[in-house]
Structure 1
Amino acid sequence: MELLNDMALFVEVVKAMSFRRAADAIGVPNSTLSRRVSALEKAIGLRLMHRTTRRLELTEAGQIYFERCKRIVDEAKLAHEQLGELLAQPSGVLRASLPVDFATSTLAPLIAEFAAIYPGIRFEFDLTPRRVDLVSEPFDVAIRMGESQDSNLIARLLAQLPTHLYASPTYLERAGEPQAPADLVNHECLGFKAAKAMVWTLTREDSGAVESVEVGGRFQLNSVGMLRRMATLDLGFVLSVDALAARDVQQGRLVRVLPAWQGPPVPVYAMTETRLLPAKTQRFIEFLRERLHPG
């Protein structure tokens, strides 16, 4: 048992990359933490980290040992929590990173429903545009839209969101409404900044026919919300997730164009750093999957 405790202490030091910060986080005296890690190195017979007055640096052996220890410690914590679930509802603080627009338009009412079901869970949400680092930052889960690019994380698919073309009534009155995807080449199209040509691929919903159109326009950027906002300001077409455009459609700022054609669905993932999830995180992911992709 003492070995497992020392492994857990070592993991906390590595995660913080500081004895002092780790000691503050877990409430153990700095001197005790240093002594226990030294005892662990002595028991193993290998140096796990280089210590200087300014920084810590893992040795090659320390990196290997950390990866093994972290899995063992995570499994031990999960086993303890799962037994506790027999007596109590999930509780604690759920820290999640959420995409701004999707959280505001779609996730907010679902989170309210989830919070009512699990009153023992408290919530800390980060809605900044940046992609948080789930390994070094204290987040339980990140909800991300679009294909996952990080092979080091565990991605759980929550939904595939349909997309369609939208434009403002004023833009359509001024520039005319396209009758087929090929007509988009003569229009202003708002899209993400691309290294090469901007190509929109549309699929006809009744027949499955696919058309790819190289479109262009004066504006290319990297914000979903800004793209949609510029479309409401009569600056061109936007290919948007229906759920994100719904309010603008209801209020008459946007209308769906070429309704028989749809764009590529946008996947929504729950990203975690490990497969071993505490109950609060597991329930949250399962709940979102059920609500976003019923059946």
Structure 2
Amino acid sequence: MELLNDMALFVEVVKAKGFRGAAEVMGMPNSTLSRRISALEKAIGLRLLHRTTRKVELTEAGQIYFERCKRIVDEARLAHEQLGDMLAQPSGVLRVSLPVDFAITYLAPLIAEFAGLYPGITFDLDLSPRRVDLVSEPFDVAIRIGESENSQLIARPLITLVPYLYASPRYLEVAGVPDTPSDLERHQCLNILRDGTWTLNNGAQTLSVAVGGRFMVNSVGLLRRLATLDQGIVLMHDEIIVDELRNGQLRRVLPEWRGKAVTVYAVTETRLLPAKTQRFIEFLRARLA
């Protein structure tokens, strides 16, 4: 590598027709440049330059060496640029851990759009409900709802989700429409949390309401489905039930009241990310913003 650098310095001296101009181009002292070229001549055992007080001229051996050096240096620079372009282009396998229902309902169209933009990337998407270990498992990024328990990981916020209350028109027809949060205590409430309490606020006050029902499940997707099947009221984010709202399977209940907001993060083990991961996170932040 040092020899290649000295060859590049020699080429610059010849092109500049002197040490002073080459030293300015290379950003180094004139004396240092002269010393490096002398060391190069000594290393290869050839006199490359005739030095005078005004200029330098190539020797016959120097002319041959210059032509070869220029070709080698140009090829090395081109290879370096091509390597840099290759490394900067998103490619390879992108391994992502995703929350099941949020990914299927909300992120799937965005992932498809991203895939169309970067055909060099292939995808390994894990939708298991467990939280993967980014330190010991080969994932590039995890999309997580709520903050990470591991403070050593890097969490980049993507979007804040606000849950609201929803039920099917049929359930409300049979059970009645609640008028106040306290009315929820008399309704079937579909809950994913085991404490049986919903914290609601309307911008002016915050209330904790004890809720219960016949179903206690650990799947957001099943809760959503049970709500469409007239089984009760659910507290859920718009982004997860967008289709059910569009087709009228669910409608908002107590519309002025909402649950506690949660943030969706892109979590990585390090800040030093390959292009594929960096572009994916940037894409999601731009779209979700």
Q: In the TM superposition, what is the alpha-carbon distance from 1:175 to its structure 2 partner?
A: 0.8
1:203 aligns with 2:201: yes
Corresponding position of 1:143? 143
Q: CA deviation at 1:285?
A: 0.7
Structure 1 residue 148, shift from structure 2 partner = 2.1
**What corresponds to 1:215 in structure 2?**
211
**Equivalence for 2:109:** 109
Displacement of 1:113: 1.6
| Equivalent residue runs for 1:58-69 within 5 Å | none
Contact kept in structure 1, 2:198 and 2:259, CA below 8 Å? yes
- The Cα offsets for residues 194-240 of structure 1, whole Å up to 9 and x where unpaired, read as 2xx42211121xx4322221212222221111111111121111100
Matched, 1:168 2:147: no
| AA of the residue aligned to 1:250 | R
Secondary structure of 1:192's counterpart equals coil
How far apart are 1:88 and its partner, in Å?
A: 4.8
Matches of residues 91-102 of structure 1 in structure 2 within 5 Å?
91-102=91-102
Does the CA contact (< 8 Å) of 2:88 and 2:275 recur in 1? no
**SS of residue matched to 1:142:** strand
Q: Offset at 1:292? A: 0.9
Counterpart in the other structure of 1:47: none
Measured in 2, the distance between the counterparts of 1:289 and 1:88 equals: 20
- 2:242 is aligned with 1:251: no
Match of 2:153 in 1: 153
Does residue 267 of structure 1 match 2:263? yes
How far apart in 1 are the matches of 2:163 and 2:276?
A: 31
In the aligned structure 1, how far is the partner of 2:164 from the partner of 2:193? 19
Alignment-derived partner of residue 182 in structure 2: 182
| Residues in 2 aligned to 1:154 and 1:221: alpha-carbon distance in whole angstroms | 30
Amino acid at match of 1:198: G
Partners of 2:87 and 2:171 in 1: CA distance: 60
Shift of the alpha carbon at 1:93?
1.3
> How far did residue 264 of structure 1 move?
1.3
Query: Structure 2: which amino acid aligns with 1:241?
Result: H
**Partner-residue secondary structure (3-state), 2:104:** helix
Indicate the SS of the match to 2:261: strand
Q: Is the CA contact 1:165–1:262 (under 8 Å) kept in the aligned structure 2?
A: yes
Aligned to 2:20: none
Change (3 A) 1:88 1:270: closer
- TM (norm. structure 2) is 0.68
1:2-59, Cα deviation, whole Å (9 max, x unpaired): xxxxxxxxxxxxxxxxxxxxxxxxxxxxxxxxxxxxxxxxxxxxxxxxxxxxxxxxxx
CA contact (8 A) 1:190 1:236 kept: yes
Helix, strand or coil for the counterpart of 2:260?
strand
Aligned partner letter, 2:122: R
Over residues 74-121 of structure 1, what are the superposed CA-to-partner deviations in whole Å (9 max), with x where a residue is unaligned?
A: xxxxxx99x824875222111111112111111111112212222222
Q: Establish whether residue 239 from structure 1 lines up as the match of residue 206 from structure 2.
A: no
Gaps of 5+ in 1: 2-79
Structure 2 spans left out of the alignment, 5+ residues? 2-79
**Aligned counterpart, 2:192:** 192
| SS of structure 2 residue aligned to 1:263 | coil
Between the aligned residues of both structures, percent identity stands at 65
